[in-house]
Amino acid sequence: MQPKKELVRVVINKEKNISVDPTGKKPGRGAYVSLDPSKIEAAKNSKVLEKSLGTSVPEEFYEELYSYVDHQKARKELFGDK
All domains in the chain, ordered by first residue: 4-79 (3.30.1230.10)
Q: What is the pTM of this model?
A: 0.85
- pLDDT tens for each residue of 7-51: 999 999 999 999 999 999 999 999 999 998 898 999 999 999 999
Dihedrals phi, psi of 8, to nearest 5 degrees:
-130, 145
Say if residues 63 and 8 touch (Cβ distance below 8 Å): no
